Chain A
Amino acid sequence: MRTYVIQRLVIFVPVLFLVSVLIFVPLRILPGDPAMVILSGGGNVDVDPQDLARLRRELGLDFPLHQQYFTWIQDVLTLNLGTSLVSRKAVNGEIARSLPVSLELASLSTVFALLVALPVGILSAVRQDTWIDYVARSISIAGMAFPSFWIGTLVVVALVMLFKWIPPVVYATPAESLEDNLTHMIWPALVLGYQASAPLARMTRSALLDVRREDYVRTAWAKGLGERLVITRHMLKNALLPVIALSGVQIGRLLGGTVIMESIFVLPGLGRRLIEAVELRDFPMIQAIVLISAVAFMLINFLVDLVQVWLDPRVRLQ
């Protein structure tokens, strides 16, 4: 186990290096000059070439690319994510408020996803080819088919039409006000959770159907055990392994995929920050957010793999 952990951690290094290059280079190649965007107020104003040259110097954009890259990497290694070109503030500070928002949203969404996916998947598998199965599968497919921005907008419009109410538009952390925080978060979490539950429910169903055919399950039935006991004690634990693996992927996707929900529900998360940074070509902010997302994705999947190793003795013995 220790060797496995070390091997996995060592692989992080070249992967992160590759990610850093893949973030840095395309950004510089993409058309669009951050100094020009800032000076033009998003396109409102003509830009004086002298002002442009001065701002590019101030922002360090006139240094050679390799120098900019090495400066950035040096800073990252000391956990300094740089200075935003737009706000001129440390990126660390700007992200410090946004990261917990996205983490909370991703976590809540995952919880909802699992709360929906597991019962639906189990029901679907146990009542295979009945109307319950068909309804459950239709709901799952709808979750995968409908785009999240559509569902999110529909939720907001429906709330205001039916109740003349929408969730708060000013974010409060749980420490500031747990009630406001949950009132704000629950809606985007439900939308994202529903979307994330769809593939999880289908995976749960497939895995249970596979496990159902195993000898030990037949033995359990033959011994006269009740349905609930067979499902929970024998089938579910084995069927959950691929579901756990998929959950890891889903959490990673959720971390990066909350952009639309954050815009619709006015959450100051990483996704929204990323979109704003891309629109303004705020290179340090974009690099930081993408790097953090990559690290988070790798860590989550690593943890999920560890959990699997720990849960399944067969994997451990391998």
Chain B
Amino acid sequence: MTTITRRYKVSWLAAVLSLTLLVSACAPAPSPTSTATLPPSAGAAAPSATPTPIATPTRTPLATVATPAATPAHPPIVAQEQPARGGIVRFVSSDDASTLDIHRSTFQILYEGFGNAYNGILRYDPIQVDKVVPDLAERWEVSPDGRTYTFFFRRDIKWHDGVPFTAADAKMSVERMLEFAPKKGNIATVQKVEAPDDFTLKVTLSRPTPSFIKGIALGVMAIGPKHIFDKKGNLEDNLIGTGPFTIASYNRGESLNLVRNRDYFKKGLPYLDGAQWLIIPDFSTRVAAFKAGRVDVFGANVTLLPSQAEAIRRDVPDAQVLPKESLEASFLVFNVNRKPWDDTRVRKAAFLAISRQDSIKTLDEGAGRVGLETFLAEFAFPEEELLKVPGIRLDKQRDRQDARKLLEEAGFPKGFKSTITVIGGHRFLEPLAIFLKDQMTTVGIELALDPLDVPTFIKRRADRQFDTMALFGTIDFLDPDAALKTLNPKGQFNTLNDEKLMALFDQQSVITDPVKRREIIFELQRRSLEVVPHVMVNWVIRRQMAAARVRNFVPGIGNFSQLGAVEQVWLAPR
């Protein structure tokens, strides 16, 4: 035995443990995943023009079919008083972005958060959220044949690194979007893009497309810097925009920090010193963070049910509960390539079995409305017509009797077994699947739940390896063309390639006369009732929340309309 005593050995052990702690604590100060070393913007912009925004047709108020009244929402505080300057608003998000390339991803934080560093050719107004207004372009013209759009850009716009904006940036961006953007379907008829001079962009369409303006104004159509793209060949790490905020730092999976662009071309904006997006994956922690005042706004991908919002409001009585027109509807999707869902009678039986009113009451706590397909306003069936439609009418007993008759005709007098595939653990989808399963049992159809994780679900959906699926479908903007997403037979919501249905869709897409267009869309919806490509259960209306001090925050319409929401937001003094 050596002269080393036991006391010495224990002391040494303690020293080793302490050293381990010290080493792990002394991590090098991290550099943000992407650094923004932004040179000061150069020059003062010329006084801005005040172009007249184009108004979209006024929406017909959308009635709720007789259900218990939804928990009331509290309108956003769109203040009349003079905005106060300064302060930082903190948003919470559940997800992070994949790539930072503004043209290649659809993760919501990229548009809601990073999007505040960008502008579009046009945009949706941050306050009157269904109205398309100028952004980089101050005005535009449409050729008499409806195929050529000419945008005239402002001349006082600079990128955050001081390089002047030109039409070449817009040309590059639109061309990239047509090639890469996951949402390129919204501008699919673009045939040619030209920049005849530095402040003019000419877009030629393959055919007249009345929805083109609404498509190009979407938040996913942000304009990126050509000079950065030319240098790097991509916009993977790009943090340079023209927008009201510059990106100060971004820590992947943690936070995004924006600071005010002092040289923003819209003089007087933004009001805030900065904005922050905090990525908090756990729902309870998000709620706790809001209650504790560590976040100010629930982001668009962390919407709430009315009861959840009111529960939070009990602890934060002056919080704003904001209704969000998410343009989202719940669906039961059939795989018509599998028996017995290839039989129209079976699909009709499923259509009849589901009680929309019960869905709105139980799943959405009254915050929903019935619909037939994803058409809205003047293009949706009026409520009184909808209530006559078998399946949507209130007489559910009769509907289910008719459903059983149809199943008997189809050779299933005692019903049959099938599966319903869903994203497991999803806080809205899994209850929807359980609800649909329950509804199907009323007519003898036994659906076994098939919960999957997201990647497996996406693969099965793409490969058409399912019987039925529970899904939420979101249209991107308020135009009937947006319904292509839920009607497209190659898409996620419809596996039935009904030529007449798609011919009607294509027909309405080129008509500018709203009355004629409406007639065709009504005919399309009647055709949908005949062939039942899927079952749209109901529209859902979610809630976002904001702290009392936040002014001028209005949830965007749909999930991808707004390119940043913070330009006109301000904080009332304490």
A 79-132 contacts with B by CB, 8 A? 86-89, 93-94, 96-97, 100-101, 103-104, 107-108, 111
Chain A residues near B282 (CB-CB < 8 A): 153, 263-264, 266
B 441-472 contacts with A by CB, 8 A? 453-460, 462
Given contacts A36-B459, A237-B10, A310-B9, contact A42 B281 (CB under 8 A): no
* Interchain CB contact (< 8 A) of B455 among A94, A166, A281: A281
Q: Are B455 and A32 in contact (CB under 8 A)?
A: yes
Q: Is B438 an interface residue (CB 8 A)?
A: no
Q: Is B284 an interface residue (CB 8 A)?
A: yes
Q: Is A77 an interface residue (CB 8 A)?
A: no
Chain B residues near A276 (CB-CB < 8 A): 96, 253
Q: Are B99 and A103 in contact (CB under 8 A)?
A: no
Q: Are A43 and B457 in contact (CB under 8 A)?
A: yes
* Interchain CB contact (< 8 A) of A279 among B20, B28, B294, B453: B453
By size class, the interface of chain B is: 35 or more
Q: Are A93 and B9 in contact (CB under 8 A)?
A: no
What is the CB-to-nearest-CB distance from A96 to chain B, in angstroms, rounded to a whole number? Answer: 7
Given contacts A175-B26, A311-B9, contact A37 B106 (CB under 8 A): no
Chain B residues near A97 (CB-CB < 8 A): 27, 30, 33, 251
A-B pairs, top 3 by smallest CB distance, nearest first, are A32-B455, A41-B106, A100-B27
What is the CA–CA distance of A36 and B6 in the complex, to the nearest angstrom?
Answer: 60
Q: Is A248 an interface residue (CB 8 A)?
A: no
* Interchain CB contact (< 8 A) of B456 among A32, A108, A168: A32
Chain B residues near A96 (CB-CB < 8 A): 28, 30
Chain A residues near B21 (CB-CB < 8 A): 104, 107-108, 111
For residue B20, which residue of chain A has the nearest CB? A107
Q: Is A38 an interface residue (CB 8 A)?
A: yes
* Interchain CB contact (< 8 A) of B488 among A40, A46, A93: A46
What is the CA–CA distance of A38 and B459 in the complex, to the nearest angstrom?
Answer: 12
What is the CB-to-nearest-CB distance from B10 to chain A, in angstroms, rounded to a whole number? Answer: 7
Instruction: Please tell me which stretch of A155-163, A195-203, A205-213, A216-224 contacts chain B, meaning at least 4 of its Cβ atoms lie within 8 angstroms of it.
Output: A155-163
Q: Are A156 and B423 in contact (CB under 8 A)?
A: no
Q: Are A100 and B24 in contact (CB under 8 A)?
A: yes
Q: Is B171 an interface residue (CB 8 A)?
A: no
Q: Are B182 and A41 in contact (CB under 8 A)?
A: yes
Q: Is A135 an interface residue (CB 8 A)?
A: no
What is the CB-to-nearest-CB distance from B306 to chain A, in angstroms, rounded to a whole number? Answer: 21
Query: Given A43-B457, A168-B294, 8 more contacts at CB 8 Å?
Result: A32-B454, A41-B107, A41-B108, A42-B106, A96-B30, A169-B280, A237-B10, A276-B253
Q: Is B491 an interface residue (CB 8 A)?
A: yes
What is the CB-to-nearest-CB distance from A164 to chain B, in angstroms, rounded to a whole number? Answer: 6
What is the CA–CA distance of A86 and B105 in the complex, to the nearest angstrom?
Answer: 10
What is the CA–CA distance of A33 and B461 in the complex, to the nearest angstrom?
Answer: 12
Chain B residues near A263 (CB-CB < 8 A): 281-282, 285
What is the CA–CA distance of A36 and B458 in the complex, to the nearest angstrom?
Answer: 7
Mind listing 13 A-B residue pairs with CB under 8 Å?
Answer: A38-B99, A38-B105, A41-B105, A41-B182, A43-B454, A86-B99, A89-B33, A104-B25, A107-B20, A169-B295, A264-B285, A272-B253, A276-B96
What is the CA–CA distance of A41 and B123 in the complex, to the nearest angstrom?
Answer: 22
Q: Is B54 an interface residue (CB 8 A)?
A: no
Given contacts A89-B33, A164-B291, A268-B254, contact A33 B180 (CB under 8 A): no
Given contacts A33-B459, A164-B292, contact A45 B98 (CB under 8 A): no
What is the CA–CA distance of A275 and B455 in the complex, to the nearest angstrom?
Answer: 13
What is the CB-to-nearest-CB distance from B471 to chain A, in angstroms, rounded to a whole number? Answer: 9
What is the CA–CA distance of A88 and B27 in the complex, to the nearest angstrom?
Answer: 24
Q: Are B284 and A175 in contact (CB under 8 A)?
A: no
Q: Is A176 an interface residue (CB 8 A)?
A: yes
Interface centre among A41, A101, A173, A313 (most CB of B within 10 A): A41
Q: Are A164 and B99 in contact (CB under 8 A)?
A: no
Chain B residues near A89 (CB-CB < 8 A): 33, 252
Given contacts A87-B99, A265-B285, contact A174 B474 (CB under 8 A): no
* Interchain CB contact (< 8 A) of B27 among A86, A161, A175, A279: A175
Q: Is A239 an interface residue (CB 8 A)?
A: no
Q: Is B29 an interface residue (CB 8 A)?
A: yes
Q: Is B492 an interface residue (CB 8 A)?
A: yes
For residue A176, which residue of chain B has the nearest CB? B29
What is the CA–CA distance of A275 and B185 in the complex, to the nearest angstrom?
Answer: 32
What is the CB-to-nearest-CB distance from B537 to chain A, in angstroms, rounded to a whole number? Answer: 18
Q: Are A266 and B280 in contact (CB under 8 A)?
A: yes
Given contacts A42-B107, A45-B183, A96-B30, contact A31 B456 (CB under 8 A): yes
Given contacts A32-B453, A88-B236, A273-B253, contact A266 B285 (CB under 8 A): yes
What is the CB-to-nearest-CB distance from B452 to chain A, in angstroms, rounded to a whole number? Answer: 8
Q: Is A47 an interface residue (CB 8 A)?
A: yes
Q: Is B514 an interface residue (CB 8 A)?
A: no
Q: Are A42 and B95 in contact (CB under 8 A)?
A: yes
What is the CB-to-nearest-CB distance from A120 to chain B, in angstroms, rounded to a whole number? Answer: 19
What is the CB-to-nearest-CB distance from A159 to chain B, in angstroms, rounded to a whole number? Answer: 7
Q: Are A169 and B458 in contact (CB under 8 A)?
A: no
In the complex, per-residue mask of A37-73: 1 if CB is within 8 Å of any chain B CB, else 0 = 1111111111100010000000000000000000000
Chain A residues near B106 (CB-CB < 8 A): 40-42, 44-45
Chain B residues near A159 (CB-CB < 8 A): 288, 292
Q: Is B490 an interface residue (CB 8 A)?
A: yes
Given contacts A41-B182, A45-B106, A174-B27, contact A279 B454 (CB under 8 A): yes
Chain A residues near B6 (CB-CB < 8 A): 237
What is the CA–CA distance of A7 and B281 in the complex, to the nearest angstrom?
Answer: 44
Q: Are B281 and A174 in contact (CB under 8 A)?
A: no
Chain B residues near A43 (CB-CB < 8 A): 423, 454, 457-458
B 227-273 contacts with A by CB, 8 A? 236, 251-255
Q: Are B30 and A44 in contact (CB under 8 A)?
A: no
What is the CB-to-nearest-CB distance from A174 to chain B, in angstroms, rounded to a whole number? Answer: 4
Chain A residues near B107 (CB-CB < 8 A): 41-42
What is the CA–CA distance of A51 and B103 in the complex, to the nearest angstrom?
Answer: 13
What is the CA–CA distance of A37 and B462 in the complex, to the nearest angstrom?
Answer: 11
Q: Are A37 and B455 in contact (CB under 8 A)?
A: yes
Q: Are A307 and B459 in contact (CB under 8 A)?
A: no
For residue B484, which residue of chain A has the nearest CB? A46
Given contacts A45-B182, A93-B33, contact A37 B458 (CB under 8 A): yes
Q: Are B491 and A46 in contact (CB under 8 A)?
A: yes
What is the CB-to-nearest-CB distance from B482 to chain A, in angstroms, rounded to a whole number? Answer: 13
What is the CA–CA distance of A272 and B280 in the complex, to the nearest angstrom?
Answer: 11
Q: Is B317 an interface residue (CB 8 A)?
A: no
Q: Are B458 and A32 in contact (CB under 8 A)?
A: yes
Q: Is A165 an interface residue (CB 8 A)?
A: yes
Q: Are A88 and B99 in contact (CB under 8 A)?
A: yes
What is the CA–CA distance of A279 and B33 in the complex, to the nearest angstrom?
Answer: 21
Chain A residues near B254 (CB-CB < 8 A): 170-171, 266, 268
For residue B485, which residue of chain A has the nearest CB? A46
Chain A residues near B183 (CB-CB < 8 A): 45
What is the CA–CA distance of A94 and B455 in the complex, to the nearest angstrom?
Answer: 22
Q: Are A166 and B288 in contact (CB under 8 A)?
A: yes
What is the CB-to-nearest-CB distance from B312 to chain A, in angstroms, rounded to a whole number? Answer: 11
* Interchain CB contact (< 8 A) of B281 among A31, A46, A111, A272: A272
Q: Is B13 an interface residue (CB 8 A)?
A: yes
Q: Are A313 and B1 in contact (CB under 8 A)?
A: yes
* Interchain CB contact (< 8 A) of A87 among B98, B294, B453: B98
